[in-house]
Structure 1
Amino acid sequence: MTGTERGTQPILTGDRVRLRPWRPDDAAVVLAACQDTDIQRWTQVPLPYAAEHAEGFVGGIAPQTWDEGGALFAVEPADGGPLIGSMGLFPPRDGVGEAGYWTAPEGRGQGFTAEGLRVLADWALDVVGVHRVELLVDPANAGSRRVAERAGFVAEGTIRQRFLFRGQPSDVVLYARLAGDPRPPTAR
């Protein structure tokens, strides 16, 4: 199914966050955020991260992900304000979607990412129709593990050397939310 057949990518809202499609004018914010050492440490953003990477992300990768059945969203406060981060559902396969996210330094520690992940997972389970949403988290990434748990994801175990990160086999903790799991309360 293409993006045209799926219609326009929606805007998803929570109590405190809004997830909206990326726009070309977001590239400067993405460029600045992806200079952060934690984003570079825990995600697969290119290193060094340059303007052409940010432009390609908002102008090419995000629309292509929608066309392929997933969705990448800019995360911003629901009441307005600067972008907080990125939240995405990679194109699902066999009823399973994988989520991923990053948060700019100024948006961390306030519950925005956990709420955004809860909103994304609810949409994936209720609207997209997957039966399972997964996250692969580095075992040492305590912040991301807290976000997953606050968004209702359950740690299912460590998978050894499951992920190739910057050319090195790495362990991950597999988190998941199922369609039949109890819904978490608003993550704050």
Structure 2
Amino acid sequence: MDPRADQPTLTGPRVRLRPWRDDDVDAVFAACQDAEIQRWTEVPVPYRREHAAGFVGEIAARTWAAGGGQFAVETREGTGPVGAMTLFPPRDGVGAGGYWTGGAHRGRGFTGEALRILAGWAFDELGLRRLELVVDPANAGSRGVAESAGFRAEGVLRQRSLHRGTPVDDVIYGLLAGDPRPDA
């Protein structure tokens, strides 16, 4: 079976990760107006509707074609996207993840569960050996998500990245295929 044939929907106890659809544009546009998403991620500022359309359309398709996956995170009740979960195209058995959560849905465990589901898929279906996350040391919410999914902080790389033109430190989190994984 060709793992790139169709992007799967991945289901956990409370959330599902599904491919983005054209009818998600408005939800992505609204979510990315959130100051916290703009603060911690690389979404364009100001965030316009055409950015959302490009994200759910060509960016998601390009990520899938390159070996990664962009997923909408929704509750099992199908309430529409509560966040986003990404596996950037892996290289040499190593993938990097990224995520954001809409403000009304933070602190409810949805993103941690979604990250555990993504990690299981990346290891068990795609055969990756390592997943990484790059997190700003001050982003306590994202650090909590990483740790709830079994990722370990491996170190701080000083001034590793530029965020909106300013040098910032990064905490690198890692999870190996053989590491203990919390239940989804």
Give the aligned partner of residue 115 of structure 1.
Answer: 113
Give the aligned partner of residue 17 of structure 2.
Answer: 19
Give the aligned partner of residue 142 of structure 1.
Answer: 140
Aligned-pair RMSD on alpha carbons? 1.1
Output the amino acid matched with 1:108: R
Give the aligned partner of residue 158 of structure 1.
Answer: 156
Aligned mates of 2:117, 2:135 — CA distance in 1: 19
> Which of 71, 76, 82 is 2:80 aligned to?
82
Question: Is the 8 Å Cα contact of residues 89 and 95 (structure 2) preserved in structure 1?
Answer: yes
Structure 1 residue 173, shift from structure 2 partner: 0.4
Gapped regions of structure 2 (runs ≥ 5) = none
Give SS of 1:92's match. strand
> Which of 71, 77, 80 is 2:69 aligned to?
71
Question: Is 1:57 equivalent to 2:55 in the alignment?
Answer: yes
- CA displacement, residues 80-110 of structure 1 (integer Å, 9 cap, x when unaligned): 2131000000000111000000000111110
Structure 1 residue 5, shift from structure 2 partner: 7.1
Aligned mates of 1:167, 1:123 — CA distance in 2: 34
Count of aligned pairs between the two proteins = 183
Give the aligned partner of residue 40 of structure 1.
Answer: 38
Runs of 4+ in 1 over 2 A off after TM superposition: none
Give SS of 1:55's match. helix
Output the amino acid matched with 2:147: E
Question: Is the 8 Å Cα contact of residues 116 and 183 (structure 2) preserved in structure 1?
Answer: no
- CA displacement, residues 34-86 of structure 1 (integer Å, 9 cap, x when unaligned): 00000000000000000110000011100110001000000000122131000
Aligned mates of 2:19, 2:176 — CA distance in 1: 25
Using the aligned pairs only, state the percent identity.
Answer: 63
Give SS of 2:173's match. strand
User: What are the equivalent positions in structure 2 for 1:173-184 lying under 5 Å apart?
Assistant: 173-184=171-182
Question: Is the 8 Å Cα contact of residues 8 and 18 (structure 2) preserved in structure 1?
Answer: yes
Aligned mates of 1:5, 1:185 — CA distance in 2: 24
Aligned mates of 1:70, 1:17 — CA distance in 2: 20
Output the amino acid matched with 2:100: W
Q: TM-score, normalised by structure 2?
A: 0.97
Aligned mates of 2:71, 2:144 — CA distance in 1: 21
